[in-house]
Amino acid sequence: MTDTTAETGTGAEQADHERPPEPTIKDYRQRYETYAAIPETGRDRAEVLAEMRAMAELEAARWEQGYASGSVYNGDPDHIAFLNEVYALNSQANPLHTDLWPSGTKYESEIVAMTATMLGGGGIGDGPGSDTGVCGTVSSGGSESIQLAMKTYRDHALATRGITEPEMIVPISAHAAFDKAAQYFGIKIIHIPTGPDWRADVAATEAAITDNTVVMVGSAPSFPHGVVDPIEELSELARARGIGFHTDGCLGGFVLPWAEKLGWPVPPFDFRLPGVTSMSADTHKYGYAAKGTSVVLYRNVELRHHQYFTITDWPGGLYASPSFAGSRPGALSAACWAALVSTGESGYLAATRAILETAGRVKAALRADFPELEIFGDPLFVVAFRSVDDTLDIYRVLDAMTALGWSLNGLHRPAAVHLCVTQRTTQPGVTDRFVVDLRAAIDEVRAHPTAEGGMAPIYGMANTIPERGLVAHAMLDHMDSWYRLP
């Protein structure tokens, strides 16, 4: 990300609020040796560790104090050290080889069962872990969980209904992973609008259903605006027509159940609704596992079978895998299991309470002190806001907040910014500083509305340019730069 101007805020504010260093790929390649080939002689391990430690310390300064939206959901040093120890114990494990590492099947089956029970699957059939209850698999993250589910519905519809031109109905606010699944698996995606409350439009969804519809989707909550779609109404539309319905709980799956227990208003969204036939929930977000695990759940084993891959005539022998990967890091599954059982219900309730109370303070401050801003709907923990008129460039506000050390999420269509509250955000003083810095950022933008630098011009282009191919080309070039050596 391009650096913004260093003049943001007053001198007194800058002295009290030092900007964390902002390392970049370019900085690293200039500071450290770059390898285009394996070195002829291996480097000293202590030297390698020292170099990696230096980079990690630079990057930790960008999130550990609580000024990043999402990204690191727990971040407590003791919790990190515990998961690192678990990972080290299981670093060689590969769940593909169940004969060598049967612990992998223990960890993953129990991760799935615990998640299913949390998400309303405990009273269905014989319960999670049985051959008739809610079931699922562990995946590498939310995008894989979503893609696995969409691939499953495509194959299930072909096998049971003979559908060769499958369609999926997805709100425009749903995660981009659904579009990725449509592209990867040849499913026509039908985008439906959101209503004035930023939730999926039920009437538009009903009108979009055809004989080729294989799955409908709702978010709990949506990533951009943090609001929960009308899952009950949407899933009933699907159930009445014999269509699958997927609730994307990647972001909220490990928040909403505990929020409901704590008494916050949470609309129905999980397997307690008979029309919900699958769900995704990210253990590496608010489940507080190490990065690289998620869970995809199905109402029954028959549906899950369409996710699996088997081959019976390969010269290498019988081969089967439950998800996209063959070999997988068993250490991540072990760390996920350890996070769930060590946190416990009491830990999740305490963390959720702190997160929701912090988000409540952020929302209250925005509504009371920032008349130039508008919050999208009434979110629980992902607080999205935009300018109420065209006199304030919200993307320049985003740049100014970046210059003050924040890492927020820029949104578009419409132009907006959001803060995803995590345990890091609940640390003392973070909310107060957010309010102070946001006011300073807005004042800076008012005073210098055309300041150069930062991401504002790029976001503005992406938000307004009609030729989407130009934006896509720029994104392709940006990704190429990740792999481009100097």
pLDDT, tens digit (0-9, with 9 covering 90-100), for 311-340: 999 999 999 999 999 999 999 999 999 999
**Taking a C-beta distance cutoff of 8 angstroms, is the pair 209, 196 a contact?**
no
Residue 281 within any structural domain of the chain: yes
> Domain tally for the chain?
1
* Residue 188 phi, psi (nearest 5): -75, 125
Which of 226, 224, 250 is closest to 410 using CA atoms?
A: 224
Residue 451 within any structural domain of the chain: no
Answer whether the bond into residue 414 is a cis peptide, omega within 30°.
yes
When mean pLDDT is compared over 23-27, 120-124, 127-131, 191-195, the highest value belongs to 191-195
**Taking a C-beta distance cutoff of 8 angstroms, is the pair 426, 76 a contact?**
no
Residue 110 within any structural domain of the chain: yes
The answer, yes or no, to whether residue 10 has pLDDT greater than 50, is: no
User: Which of helix, strand or coil describes residue 263?
Assistant: coil
Question: What is the Cα 176 distance to its own chain's centre?
Answer: 10
pLDDT band with cut points at 50, 70 and 90 for residue 46: very high
- What is the C-alpha end-to-end distance of the chain, expressed in Å? 17
**Taking a C-beta distance cutoff of 8 angstroms, is the pair 411, 385 a contact?**
no
User: Which of helix, strand or coil describes residue 145?
Assistant: helix
**What is the DSSP secondary structure assignment for residue 118, as one 8-state letter?**
I
What are the respective helix, strand and coil percentages of the chain, to the nearest 5?
45, 15, 45
Determine the average pLDDT of the residues in 71-80: 96
**Taking a C-beta distance cutoff of 8 angstroms, is the pair 115, 297 a contact?**
yes
Residue 460 within any structural domain of the chain: no
pLDDT digits (tens, 9 = 90+) for 246-299: 999 999 999 999 999 999 999 999 999 999 999 999 999 999 999 999 999 999
At residue 456, the pLDDT reads 59
Residue 56 within any structural domain of the chain: no
pLDDT band with cut points at 50, 70 and 90 for residue 482: confident
Residue 455 structure tokens: 């991401």
Whose tokens are 């309470």? That residue is 353
Say what angle helices 177-185 and 142-161 make with each other, to 10 degrees: 40
- What does the mean pLDDT of the chain come to? 91
Residue 166 within any structural domain of the chain: yes
Residue 62 within any structural domain of the chain: no
Q: Is the pTM of this model over 0.85?
A: yes
Determine the average pLDDT of the residues in 95-123: 95
Which amino acid, residue 440? A
The answer, yes or no, to whether residue 351 has pLDDT greater than 70, is: yes
The whole-angstrom separation of Cα 203 and Cα 193 is: 10
Domain range enclosing 256: 102-340
User: Which of helix, strand or coil describes residue 108?
Assistant: helix
Give the side-chain half-sphere CA count within 13 A for 324: 18
Strand boundaries in 141-277, DSSP class E: 167-171, 188-192, 213-219, 244-249
pLDDT band with cut points at 50, 70 and 90 for residue 463: low
Answer whether the bond into residue 102 is a cis peptide, omega within 30°.
no
Residue 128 structure tokens: 């999670």
**What is the DSSP secondary structure assignment for residue 121, as one 8-state letter?**
I
Residue 246 structure tokens: 């997927």
Residue 217 within any structural domain of the chain: yes
pLDDT band with cut points at 50, 70 and 90 for residue 126: confident
The whole-angstrom separation of Cα 419 and Cα 69 is: 5
Residue 108 structure tokens: 């993953």
Least confident of 159-173, 210-224, 460-474: 460-474
The whole-angstrom separation of Cα 406 and Cα 355 is: 18
Which of 181, 183, 186, 107 is closest to 148 using CA atoms?
A: 181
User: Which of helix, strand or coil describes residue 338?
Assistant: helix
At residue 485, the pLDDT reads 82
Task: Determine which helix (DSSP H) or strand (DSSP E) holds 297, and give its type and residue range.
Answer: strand 294-298
Task: Determine which helix (DSSP H) or strand (DSSP E) holds 419, and give its type and residue range.
Answer: strand 416-420
pLDDT digits (tens, 9 = 90+) for 384-426: 999 998 789 999 999 999 999 999 999 988 999 999 999 999 9
Read off the CATH number of the domain in which 250 is found. 3.40.640.10
Q: Between the CA of residue 5 and those of 27, 211, 304, 448, what are the distances in Å?
A: 18, 55, 52, 11
At residue 459, the pLDDT reads 61
386 pairs with which residues across the strands? 374
At residue 481, the pLDDT reads 80
User: Which of helix, strand or coil describes residue 329?
Assistant: coil
pLDDT digits (tens, 9 = 90+) for 192-221: 999 999 999 999 999 999 999 999 999 999
Residue 109 structure tokens: 């089956």
**Taking a C-beta distance cutoff of 8 angstroms, is the pair 313, 151 a contact?**
no
Which of 446, 448, 368, 373 is closest to 408 using CA atoms?
A: 373
Question: What is the Cα 387 distance to its own chain's centre?
Answer: 25
Residue 147 structure tokens: 């893609």
pLDDT band with cut points at 50, 70 and 90 for residue 99: very high
User: Which of helix, strand or coil describes residue 185?
Assistant: helix
The whole-angstrom separation of Cα 48 and Cα 37 is: 16
